[in-house]
Chain A
Amino acid sequence: HKLEQLWGLEASPWLSVACMLWACPMPASYDRACSGAGGSGGLSISALCCSCGQWNSPHLFHGYTGLRPKGTVSFCLPPFSSSFRRLDVLTLTPWLAPIVWEGTFNSELLDSAYKPLNLTIGVTAFAIGKYTMFVGRFVESAEKLFMKGYRVNYYIFTNDPQVIPRVQLQPGRSLSIVPIKKYSHWQEISMRRMEAINRHIAEVSHREVNYLFCLDIDMVFHNPWGVETLGEMVAAIHPGYYNVPRSQFPYERRSSSAAFIPDSQGDFYYAGAVFGGLLKQVYEFTRACHMTILADKANGIMAAWQEESHLNKRFFSHKPSKLLSPEYVWDDTKPKPPEVRLIRFSTVNKDYKEIRD
């Protein structure tokens, strides 16, 4: 009888969407604990229904609140016992910033809000010296998995534009090569990234993109990386330190450094390989990090993990508005723990001695 009741309400769009849903089961998102508690944990019709009209959400658009998305997709969700729930991990920081894990968000819902905004997302990556060999795999995997369906601009910073491979790109996506100077030491190369990104935003990317992600090049996408990652200022949790006490975080511990964080402080250890956000925020962030790096230089000190230490200091004093779980920055040499259901972006195995300096 429920079906008959629902048939009356614009049957065809509802039915087609419902068929779509039945065809793609989401076993991982269903919360086993909920189904016992009498919530709508099972595949009930009411849980899967969806034909909400257009909608928008103020903050979701980080400044584009005037717009109303067109289109009719929006997925409603069952109330309290949501199918989008994780009980095994922290999904909110103490300052109420979301932590993005598989199973905490509804991609279709988010896409329906973001797609109509016609955003362009930028990606910076540094391929200096022998690191140019990683560009091909990085861009190829990004073409399949990074912000699919959105406009993307890759900015590859390199000292050797000739060797950058020409990768076939999807429509709406472009790649530009940004020539930069090669420093003699890999640590210097690493730390100068902040300055280079900052300068590039001021000169070029502010005209071209709305959001910017700054990623390491020696990595590959393995699973989708979508608009769930968009935020005002986004940091990623380092895969090696998410389960250790803060005294073991490899923060810079010398008080003479501008990146100093004492033993008793710190929320998370963030990875230097992934950060991003609204262009304006990334500009401010890279400026601040570069300033502290220069301050250390003037004092003849180099932080323990180069710009990653400075990034951590900055994120400690200016908390990010969204965090990405280690799914978004993984180390392939580590075995996959149960809490990491998907590995979306991770390192490529390499011989450090061979490629540095």
Chain B
Amino acid sequence: MCLYQTACLQSLRNGKTGGVKGYFTKRHLYVIGCTTLLCFSFGYLWNTSNGTWLDTPIKISSTMSSNTQDLDDFHKIKQPSNHILEDLLQIELPRMIYTKPQILKPSRSDVLLMTPWFAPIVWEGTYNSEILNEQFRQRNVTVGLTVFAIKKYVAFLNKFLETAETYFMVGHRVNYYIFTDRPEEVPKVPLKEGRNVVVLQVQNYPRWQEISMRRMEMINSFSQQRFINEVSYVVCVDVDMRFNDQVGVEILSDLFGTLHPGFYAAERQSFTYERRPASQAYVPRDEGDFYYAGGFFGGTVMEVYKLTKKCHEAIMMDKAKGIEAIWQEESHLNKYFVYHKPTKILSPEYLWDDNMGRREILKKRRFLAVPKNHAAIRNK
């Protein structure tokens, strides 16, 4: 607004030839004041009427809702990922004031910010939430968050949902998909506007490893049945966690994984990949970029569908051979990411355990493990 005033004042002053003193009589000041007020109100009206608009309609729901349950049809769907990105580029941003990025001053010099295939690694200080929020908000993106609360794990839901309400995708539309075998035990947590809880009843399994691995199958099946019609992005996380700081649209991308907090500084030979060639999840010692955590991954519905399908099939093939990967579905996820590089990677800020202490490089700890008694909780 003040720019308008200055512009108006300047254009008025330019008309005058003499100096200021003695030239600005009371009458002149009165005229200037009124004109400024007029400019101000014009400017305000102009700005509000000339607001932002979307050039392209959101294509996702219209193409997806005509989709049938058939797997083949699902494959033939036009990839939502490129539509999403194309839509992103039609966004016209409103006026925003922020410090200019500096070419000779990287935002962080203590950590790797981008992979050699141009996937950003998201750390605090590398992104501007205002710009990103505006881009996603205008597209009215809905984010699905999947979480599995099987058997005694329902106890984690309250804290999980409460903290998610405070920190996860604030200001955007969110669907929490709670996969549980005990739907009546899902707590009723007050939700903000535009956010819903969807309880999905699923079967449980006797072993916790089995429960963990079956998540791939369940996410895959629901991606096709529901997510494709309801959300643009799916985020899959562990339930025995709490949000502690902002986890927003900066994480969203076609396909993203999170750096496992225990291995971000390790050499690839020490990554706990599955090392038995008999397993589908096998990764040789000389391969692999990062060790990703099984507890936080996601992407567009299509990409999550493809990832979970591949992982589930691999898990089943292993089962047929009587082999179980060393870290269950996390091993299969890591295998997938070696050959299907993610388009964005989240730093360990996005999955941390306070038992590991603090790190200089972690300016924020956004998603933390909740202490639990393994013996009491698992297999019960």
- Among residues 78 to 103 in chain A, which have CB atoms less than 8 Å away from a CB atom of chain B? 78-82, 84-96, 98-100
Q: With A57-B340, A96-B120 as given contacts, are A267 and B286 in contact (CB-CB < 8 Å)?
A: no
Question: Closest chain B residue to A91 by CB distance?
Answer: B114
- Are B100 and A246 touching (Cβ within 8 A)? yes
Question: Closest chain B residue to A247 by CB distance?
Answer: B100
Report which of A52, A84, A245 forms a contact with B287, defined as CB distance below 8 A.
A52
* Complex alpha-carbon distance, A77 and B284, angstroms: 13
* Complex alpha-carbon distance, A224 and B95, angstroms: 38
Question: Closest chain B residue to A285 by CB distance?
Answer: B89
* Complex alpha-carbon distance, A112 and B104, angstroms: 31
Q: For A59, A78, A110, which residue has the most chain B Cβ atoms within 10 angstroms? A: A59
- Are A85 and B286 touching (Cβ within 8 A)? no
B-contact bits for A35-58, CB 8 A (1 contact / 0 none): 000001000001001111111111
- Are A92 and B112 touching (Cβ within 8 A)? no
Question: Closest chain A residue to B55 by CB distance?
Answer: A284
* Complex alpha-carbon distance, A196 and B142, angstroms: 39
Q: For A53, A90, A243, which residue has the most chain B Cβ atoms within 10 angstroms? A: A90
Question: Closest chain B residue to A57 by CB distance?
Answer: B341
Q: Is the interface of A mostly helix, strand, loop or mixed?
A: loop
Q: For A6, A62, A94, A278, which residue has the most chain B Cβ atoms within 10 angstroms? A: A94
Report which of A9, A50, A246, A281 forms a contact with B89, defined as CB distance below 8 A.
A281
B-contact bits for A252-270, CB 8 A (1 contact / 0 none): 0001000000111111100
B-contact bits for A264-300, CB 8 A (1 contact / 0 none): 1111100000000010110010000000000000000
Q: Which residues of B contact A58 (CB under 8 A)?
A: 81, 254-255, 299-300, 303, 340, 343
Q: Which residues of A contact B285 (CB under 8 A)?
A: 5-6, 9
* Complex alpha-carbon distance, A63 and B85, angstroms: 9
Shortest CB–CB separation between residue B101 and chain A, in angstroms?
5
Report which of A9, A46, A90, A95 forms a contact with B102, defined as CB distance below 8 A.
A90
B-contact bits for A297-321, CB 8 A (1 contact / 0 none): 0000000000000000000011101
Q: With A79-B266, A82-B116, A318-B89 as given contacts, are A87 and B106 in contact (CB-CB < 8 Å)?
A: yes
Q: Which residues of B contact A278 (CB under 8 A)?
A: 86
Q: Which residues of A contact B288 (CB under 8 A)?
A: 76
Q: Which residues of A contact B266 (CB under 8 A)?
A: 79-80
**Is B82 an interface position by the 8 A CB rule?**
yes
- Are B287 and A76 touching (Cβ within 8 A)? yes
Report which of B95, B111, B250, B268 forms a contact with A96, defined as CB distance below 8 A.
B250
- Are B89 and A92 touching (Cβ within 8 A)? no
**Is B320 an interface position by the 8 A CB rule?**
no
Q: Which residues of A contact B104 (CB under 8 A)?
A: 88-90, 242-243, 339
**Is A344 an interface position by the 8 A CB rule?**
no
- Are A321 and B106 touching (Cβ within 8 A)? no
- Are A6 and B132 touching (Cβ within 8 A)? no
Shortest CB–CB separation between residue A329 and chain B, in angstroms?
14
Q: Which residues of A contact B132 (CB under 8 A)?
A: 95-96
* Complex alpha-carbon distance, A75 and B286, angstroms: 10
**Is A105 an interface position by the 8 A CB rule?**
yes
- Are B81 and A90 touching (Cβ within 8 A)? no
Report which of B85, B290, B291, B300 forms a contact with A321, defined as CB distance below 8 A.
B85
**Is B201 an interface position by the 8 A CB rule?**
no
Q: Which residues of B contact A180 (CB under 8 A)?
A: none
A-contact bits for B20-35, CB 8 A (1 contact / 0 none): 0000000000000000
- Among residues 102 to 125 in chain B, which have CB atoms less than 8 Å away from a CB atom of chain A? 102-107, 109, 111-120, 122
- Are A90 and B107 touching (Cβ within 8 A)? yes
- Among residues 1 to 44 in chain A, which have CB atoms less than 8 Å away from a CB atom of chain B? 5-6, 9, 14, 40
* Complex alpha-carbon distance, A263 and B2, angstroms: 12
Q: Is the interface of B mostly helix, strand, loop or mixed?
A: loop
- Among residues 146 to 182 in chain A, which have CB atoms less than 8 Å away from a CB atom of chain B? none
* Complex alpha-carbon distance, A268 and B127, angstroms: 16
- Are A98 and B114 touching (Cβ within 8 A)? yes
A-contact bits for B283-325, CB 8 A (1 contact / 0 none): 0111111110000000110110000000000000000000000
B-contact bits for A219-259, CB 8 A (1 contact / 0 none): 00000000010001100010000110110000000010000
Question: Closest chain B residue to A56 by CB distance?
Answer: B340
- Are A265 and B95 touching (Cβ within 8 A)? yes
Shortest CB–CB separation between residue B82 and chain A, in angstroms?
3
Question: Closest chain A residue to B271 by CB distance?
Answer: A79
**Is B92 an interface position by the 8 A CB rule?**
yes
**Is B131 an interface position by the 8 A CB rule?**
yes
**Is A145 an interface position by the 8 A CB rule?**
no
Shortest CB–CB separation between residue B180 and chain A, in angstroms?
30
Q: With A94-B128, A96-B127 as given contacts, are A105 and B116 in contact (CB-CB < 8 Å)?
A: yes
* Complex alpha-carbon distance, A191 and B250, angstroms: 36
Report which of B93, B116, B122, B135 forms a contact with A104, defined as CB distance below 8 A.
B116
**Is B38 an interface position by the 8 A CB rule?**
no
**Is A217 an interface position by the 8 A CB rule?**
no
Shortest CB–CB separation between residue B283 and chain A, in angstroms?
9
Could you show 25 A-B contacts with beta carbons less than 8 Å apart?
A6-B286, A9-B286, A49-B286, A56-B341, A57-B255, A57-B340, A58-B81, A65-B302, A77-B116, A77-B289, A79-B264, A80-B111, A84-B115, A87-B109, A94-B128, A95-B131, A96-B250, A100-B118, A110-B117, A232-B86, A232-B89, A233-B89, A284-B55, A319-B93, A321-B85
B interface residues with partner A (beta carbon < 8 Å): 3, 7, 55, 79, 81-82, 85-86, 88-93, 95-98, 100-107, 109, 111-120, 122, 126-128, 131-132, 135, 250, 253-255, 263-269, 284-291, 299-300, 302-303, 338-344
Known: A80-B264, A92-B126, A280-B86. 19 other contacts (CB 8 A): A46-B267, A56-B341, A59-B343, A76-B338, A79-B266, A81-B112, A82-B112, A84-B116, A88-B104, A90-B101, A95-B131, A95-B135, A96-B132, A99-B103, A100-B118, A266-B100, A267-B100, A281-B86, A317-B93
